[in-house]
């Protein structure tokens, strides 16, 4: 970890950071008022504000080396779609260099290799205001709530890895646990630590919180928490119900990225809504992922940032996919982007595909557990071009009928020549940052993925 990133990591945990940086008085109240105002606006009001702020972002982006190189103009359509590979290793090409305050940041990357970013103070504060809004939706005061975190952000900190008791932060109101530390070996100590800490809210990856709940049930431990906030992975309805049953908590699942290109949240399964004012959201059609007669369409989320005057990103392809009715046209998609319609959730990343022997990329495997109630989570491991395994973390009562239905659902999406098996697993593979991808590719498949323009994810 670089000295600057180490400093930022320490600062995040310090109570001074909350009041002077992430809730800076000059920006924070202004951000809160804006979010409240936009929440009351109709379509015309949200559209007008969004277009005005988009113009400011494009003006800033035109001053960057990237903006000059691509010849971006005042209209969004004059800018090309931006892929992550263009940004990697070219940080200076995308920065305006006009901010007195900046903070370094990184993404996880598909191989665990971080993508370097910088953030301006207004962006840091606006992001905090958005997070606080979600916490308020859960019935808590974000400035006073005691928070326990189960994530992979602290992998560089050996204390977070080696001590299931976690690491204290923010004047003792925050306790941070590494997602990978949630295991059968550590469950007693983690459950005891969380119980002693008495958090009002647990924040973490869905897979980590699912695992925590499953282990609590298996070991007959009890925890009661007012609220749970999940992010960074796909939250399945079955997992939502499990967490609700075990912890008795209100749940919010949040969608976003380190690059800050889109923000959405849901307080009920399959009821996600984009946050108006966060960014300019577009949808890139991926018609090849569904049959021509499908009643749905799949789109990739494309975002233009509003709240990073130091590093304005224009038309950035997130790689995140959503499914909406095929009958939706331009008007419905605009309402969706401005938070006036809901969608069912993120399907997954563009890396979560299978490559069949003909070279065609197949997706939609998130529906494999359809009509199978006794499944907590699945993971598909593509061993070769023509063979794959479904690894299943079962719920109580999982039986042969469930096995048959899972295989039948998966085979319906695969060519006949692909050999498919199923195995029961206690734990699924994770990325270096602790996330659990839906599809894992073994080395014999990597070249085929790269020929399709997809970089395989590293897991362990």
Q: How many distinct structural domains can be found in the chain? A: 2
CATH number of the domain encompassing residue 59: 3.40.50.980
In this model, does residue 358 exceed pLDDT 60? no
Per DSSP, the three-state class of 59 is helix
Please identify, among 255, 283, 298, the residue that sits at the C-terminal boundary of a domain. 255
Q: How confident is the model over 75-102, as pLDDT tens digits? A: 999 999 999 878 877 889 999 976 556 7
Please identify, among 229, 255, 281, the residue that sits at the C-terminal boundary of a domain. 255
Flag whether 301 is in a domain: no
Flag whether 217 is in a domain: yes
- Whether residues 69 and 179 share a domain: the answer is yes
Flag whether 308 is in a domain: no
**Averaged pLDDT, 422-447:** 85
Round to whole Å and give the CA distance between 123 and 24.
11
Flag whether 326 is in a domain: no
Please identify, among 211, 227, 255, the residue that sits at the C-terminal boundary of a domain. 255
Are 164 and 193 in contact, with CB atoms under 8 Å apart?
yes
Angle at 425 between CA 419 and CA 430, to 5 degrees: 95
**Averaged pLDDT, 231-249:** 88
- Whether residues 8 and 154 share a domain: the answer is yes
Flag whether 327 is in a domain: no
- Whether residues 222 and 100 share a domain: the answer is yes
Flag whether 143 is in a domain: yes
In this model, does residue 131 exceed pLDDT 80? yes
pLDDT of residue 9: 47
Count the residues in the chain.
Answer: 460
Lowest mean pLDDT among 14-23, 51-60, 157-166: 157-166
Contacts of 372 (CB under 8 A, 6+ apart): 402, 405, 406, 409
- Structural domain for 12, as ranges: 3-255
Flag whether 202 is in a domain: yes
Q: Which of 351, 364, 360 is nearest to 317 (CA)?
A: 351
When the pLDDT of each residue in the chain is averaged and rounded to a whole number, the result is 85
In this model, does residue 155 exceed pLDDT 60? no
Q: How confident is the model at residue 359 (pLDDT cuts 50, 70, 90)?
A: low
**Averaged pLDDT, 432-438:** 74
pLDDT of residue 50: 98
pLDDT of residue 6: 42
pLDDT of residue 409: 87
- Whether residues 226 and 362 share a domain: the answer is no
Q: Which of 458, 397, 401 is nearest to 431 (CA)?
A: 458
CATH number of the domain encompassing residue 365: 3.30.300.30
- Whether residues 162 and 49 share a domain: the answer is yes
pLDDT of residue 361: 65
More confident position, 433 or 36:
36
Q: How confident is the model over 44-82, as pLDDT tens digits? A: 999 999 999 999 999 999 999 999 999 999 999 999 999
In this model, does residue 218 exceed pLDDT 80? yes
CB atoms within 10 A of CB 83: 13
Flag whether 343 is in a domain: no
**Averaged pLDDT, 317-323:** 90
Q: How confident is the model over 98-129, as pLDDT tens digits? A: 655 678 776 654 433 457 888 998 899 999 99
pLDDT of residue 8: 42
């Amino acid at each position: 970890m670089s000295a600057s990133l180490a400093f930022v990591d320490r600062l995040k945990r310090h109570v001074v950071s909350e009041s002077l940086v992430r809730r800076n008085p000059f920006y924070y109240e202004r951000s809160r008022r804006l979010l409240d105002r936009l929440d009351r606006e109709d379509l015309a009001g949200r559209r007008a504000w969004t277009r005005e702020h988009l113009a400011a972002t494009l003006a800033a982006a035109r001053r960057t080396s990237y903006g000059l190189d691509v010849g971006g103009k005042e209209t969004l359509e004059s800018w090309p779609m931006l892929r992550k590979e263009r940004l990697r290793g070219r940080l200076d090409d995308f920065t305006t260099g006009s901010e007195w305050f900046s903070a370094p940041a990184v993404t996880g990357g598909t191989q665990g290799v971080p993508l370097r970013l910088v953030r301006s103070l207004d962006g840091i504060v606006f992001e905090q205001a958005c997070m606080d809004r979600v916490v308020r939706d859960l019935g808590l005061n974000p400035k006073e709530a005691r928070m326990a975190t189960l994530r992979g952000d602290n992998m560089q900190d050996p204390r977070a890895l080696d001590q299931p008791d976690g690491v204290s932060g923010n004047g003792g109101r925050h306790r941070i646990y590494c997602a990978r530390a949630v295991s059968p070996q550590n469950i007693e100590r983690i459950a005891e630590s969380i119980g002693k800490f008495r958090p009002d809210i647990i924040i973490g990856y869905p897979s980590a919180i699912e695992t925590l709940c499953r282990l609590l049930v298996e070991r007959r431990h009890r925890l009661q928490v007012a609220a749970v906030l999940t992010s960074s992975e796909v939250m399945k309805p079955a997992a939502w119900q499990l967490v609700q049953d075990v912890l008795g908590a209100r749940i919010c699942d949040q969608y976003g990225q380190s690059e800050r290109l889109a923000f959405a949240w849901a307080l009920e399964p399959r009821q996600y809504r984009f946050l108006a004012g966060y960014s300019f959201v577009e949808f890139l059609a991926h018609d090849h992922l569904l049959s021509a007669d499908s009643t749905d369409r799949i789109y990739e989320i494309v975002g233009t940032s509003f709240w990073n005057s130091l590093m304005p990103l224009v038309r950035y392809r997130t790689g995140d996919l959503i499914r909406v009715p095929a009958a939706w046209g331009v008007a419905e998609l605009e309402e969706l982007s401005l938070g006036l319609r809901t969608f069912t959730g993120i399907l997954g990343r563009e890396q979560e595909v299978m490559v069949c022997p003909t070279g065609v990329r197949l997706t939609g495997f998130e529906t494999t557990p359809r009509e199978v109630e006794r499944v907590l989570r699945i993971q598909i491991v593509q061993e070769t071009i023509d063979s794959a395994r479904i690894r299943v973390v079962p719920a109580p009562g999982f039986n042969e009928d469930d096995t048959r239905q899972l295989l039948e659902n998966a085979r319906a999406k695969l060519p006949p020549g692909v050999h498919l098996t199923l195995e029961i697993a206690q734990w699924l593979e994770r990325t270096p940052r602790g996330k659990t991808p839906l599809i894992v590719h073994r080395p014999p498949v990597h070249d085929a993925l790269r020929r399709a323009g997809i970089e395989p994810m590293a897991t362990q």
